[in-house]
Amino acid sequence: MYDQQSRRVADACIFALGVAFALFVRYCYRDVSNSDFSYYTSHWYAAVQQLGLKATGTDVSNYTPPYLYLLYLVSSALPSLPALVAIKVPSVVFDFVCAGLVYRIVRLKYRDRRIAMLAFLAVLMAPTVVANGAVWGQSDSIYTAMLVACVYLLMTGRSAAAMLAFGIAVAFKFQAMFLAPCICALWVRGRVPFWTLLMVLVVYAVAMFPAWLEGRTALELATIYASQADTFHSLTRNAPNLYAWLPERFYSVLVVAGLLLMTGIGCLYVWLVWKSRAKLVPALILKLSLLSLLLAPFFLPKMHDRYFFPADVLSIAYGFYFPGQFYVPVAISFASFFAYMPFLMGHPMVSLRLLALIMAAACIPVALSTYRDLQRNEI
């Protein structure tokens, strides 16, 4: 009994040191700035400081209002924080939320808490997790946390709560729709009732309501994502995907072809799950979820370097859940992290075409493993 208690104390101390180190790393990067802050987020934060929630009724930001709500909360709770630090606070907070949810997923498999604690720390210290929020000041950890919550809730059979989490994710970033093939597949298998899908629209409408009260039109709020899609005209914005290998001069043709390609892949994905008699156990749902988060940004055109972030995080849970494929999160994290370098460092450190090959190499074992489970695990 004494040895067991001593082990628990030692584990708690090591875990606390790991968390403290993760916080220290983020503290070290608090003053790192970039052009996104100079041209965008600094102005958004200044607007919420000056106007409060009334800023959400303006077009100061091309993000949906929920992100401005968070910036408003930070500005109200911590008014003396420098703007550069303040805009990183929500991201850092949700880094820990992501880690906690990965902990919960890994705990579904292992009785030993120490394995889940390692997964928690692995998320906090993952290169892209640190780089995305603490260094870059981006907000991808926010919607990613909601996506990971959705996956965890689907794994535990709570479909209504899962769709609530998914709706919140969609309200923050349209890239949350990368999980849509998985959700559609679970719907056709009866795992997700149709009425819960309607919650996504309700949650989005509720999230937009305060901004509408502040004067922003319903049409503008409903079409924010459509206007975002027209912002950049390039096949890939440093995303390590299929389009790193395709010529930019065929942009117009390849954008349409890419959308059709992903539509076909999504339909095949849903059809394979629908025709399978495999039991939708938590392990299979995790595989389906990660595969969905990989396929969408890999085969869709006009993707950004940060769009593999949800896969970065969920792949860590995948690696702990299936330790025989530990190389999957390593490859995904490597490709995703070095895709950030042209923006963060001003020049590429690894060829984008090579990174795309590495990402493809990470997708293949996940796809094959998922397909085998769909064929083999019969009820």
Collapsing DSSP states into helix, strand and coil, what is residue 240? coil
- The answer to whether the beta carbons of residues 116 and 7 sit under 8 Å apart is no
Query: What radius of gyration do the chain's Cα atoms show?
Result: 21
Instruction: Show contacts of 259-263: CB within 8 Å, 24+ apart.
Output: 259/300, 259/301, 261/299, 262/295, 262/296, 262/299, 262/300
Residue-by-residue DSSP string for 45-82: HHHHHHHGGGGGGSSS-SS-HHHHHHHHHHHHH-TTS-
DSSP letter string over 137-157? ---HHHHHHHHHHHHHHHHTT
**94: domain range?**
2-376
As a whole number of angstroms, the distance between CA 367 and CA 23 comes to 35
For residue 225, how many other CB atoms are within 10 A of its CB? 14
Copy the structure tokens of residue 138: 């981006």
Tell me, what amino acid is at 70?
Answer: L
Q: Total structural domains in the chain?
A: 1
Phi/psi of residue 230, nearest 5 degrees: -95, 5
Q: What span, in angstroms and rounded, lies between the C-alpha atoms of 275 and 272? A: 5
Q: Give pLDDT tens digits along the chain (379 positions).
A: 557 787 888 888 999 999 999 999 999 999 999 999 999 999 999 999 999 999 999 889 889 999 999 999 999 999 999 999 999 999 999 999 999 999 999 999 998 899 999 999 999 999 999 999 999 999 999 999 999 999 999 999 999 999 999 999 999 999 999 999 999 999 999 999 999 999 999 999 999 999 999 999 999 999 888 877 777 789 999 999 999 999 999 999 999 999 999 999 999 999 999 999 899 999 999 999 999 999 999 999 999 999 999 999 999 999 999 999 999 999 999 999 999 999 999 899 999 999 999 999 999 999 999 999 999 855 4
Residues in contact with 76: Cβ distance below 8 Å, sequence separation at least 6, in sequence order: none
